[in-house]
A = this chain, B = another copy of it.
Amino acid sequence: MDDVIPFWMKFSPDNENGGFFSCLDRKGKVFDTDKFTWLQGREVWMFSHLYNVCEKRDEWLAMAKLGADFLEKFGHDKEGNFYFSLTREGKPLVHPYNIFSDCFAVMAFGELFKATGESRYGELALKTFGNILKRANNPKGKWSKIYPGTRPLKGFSMPMILSNLAMVIEHLIEPEVVEEITANCIHEVMEVFYSTEHGLILENVTPDGQFSDTFEGRLLNPGHAIEAMWFMLDLARRNNDKALAEKATGIALHTLRHGWDNEFGGIFYFMDVKAHPVQQLEWDQKLWWVHMETLITLAKGYRMTGRAECMEWFDKIDAYTWNHFPDPEFGEWFGYLNRRGEVLLPLKGGKWKGCFHVPRGLLQVWQTLEGESSGSNFWR
């Protein structure tokens, strides 16, 4: 409330064209004006959410609307597919090849509808959600470079994001649809992408859920898997499913043991399940969102299962995170550290880092741990 949110309030609004700047240097100065749709949607969601769950501050609602109106006007093509990026004025730069642009637009408009009750935001969220469901089996569509048929694979991100999305816009869709989507996501995440052989979640599997011994099939993204576990914990809480909470917490802890860098601390970005070299040159870097999302999962896992290991790991990740990512001098957090935990890029925001993981994570951990000392029951 005193550091992260004011940073984005001060430096990100584009009061001339609408929308947000996200490419901010260490001091918050805009170093590039391109607008990445992911980050527009995420910031709209964040300010709407703060308004909905923390305090009805007009300035937060105004921020949310500044981004939402820009996204509504310039963000999508005639079919309602969201472009990946835009110029500062809102002209499309990169085609809608990335379905997560649409996912974060749904979160944005769904949450802003909750804040304002304005039906057009709700309708846009619903329409975009419908688009996503239609595209879900082939998200990249005509922009996919994969030759069809030779080696079909499905990706973990789709069921992962849908499990969160369905809850974020639960107020907008039929209960049966929510049930169907979430049940399917839980199955995909916990049984299909979770490999009992490896005890880890794979980023890509064959259409029938088998391991593919290829670069894509061997890929692990520990932060991704651990983040998905708190989506599962949220569903477990909602469904009062203690077995799911136990399983999700166990997977998160195992992933953490596997992904932790014993030499320099921090969680690796990418790994190969057979310990072969990965294609991602950034594999050993320590990223802000990986550590923030892990804190959320551990806090929820602790409150829902009481496992001491969650608390121990929380303390360890918490110490690493606060020792490395925040920038006490100019505010907000660095995003990208090298393996040793040194700042790799001095930016506070860029193509992928915006007003999202840090404030969402701090808020989630706060909400989760609140009342913990009084022994209040976290389960419904």
Contacts and interface: CB of A to CB of B under 8 A. Distances in A.
A308 interface: no
A282 interface: yes
A336 B281 CA distance: 8
Nearest to A274: B31
A32 B338 contact: no
B338 A147 contact: no
A215 B351 contact: yes
Interface in A150-166: 150-151
Contacts of A336: 281
- Counted per complex, copies of this chain come to 2
Given A285-B281, A346-B277, A94 B142 contact: no
Nearest to A98: B145
Given A87-B151, A146-B93, A338-B338, A32 B276 contact: yes
Contacts of A283: 345
A344 B146 CA distance: 28
Given A97-B145, A147-B94, A215 B276 contact: no
A48 B152 CA distance: 36
A281 B345 CA distance: 8
Contact of A147 (B32, B95, B344): B95
Given A31-B277, A93-B150, A145 B84 contact: yes
A347 interface: yes
Given A95-B146, A215-B32, A281 B279 contact: no
Interface residues of A, number: 40
Interface in A268-290: 276-279, 281-285
Contacts of A34: 214-215
Interface string A336-354: 1011000011110011000
A25 interface: yes
Nearest to A143: B145
A91 B152 CA distance: 13
Interface string A15-36: 0000000000100000110100
A113 interface: no
Interface centre among A277, A284, A345, A347 (most CB of B within 10 A): A277
21 contacts: A31-B277, A32-B214, A32-B215, A32-B276, A87-B150, A92-B147, A92-B150, A93-B150, A93-B151, A94-B146, A97-B145, A143-B143, A277-B345, A279-B350, A281-B282, A281-B285, A281-B344, A281-B345, A282-B282, A283-B345, A338-B338
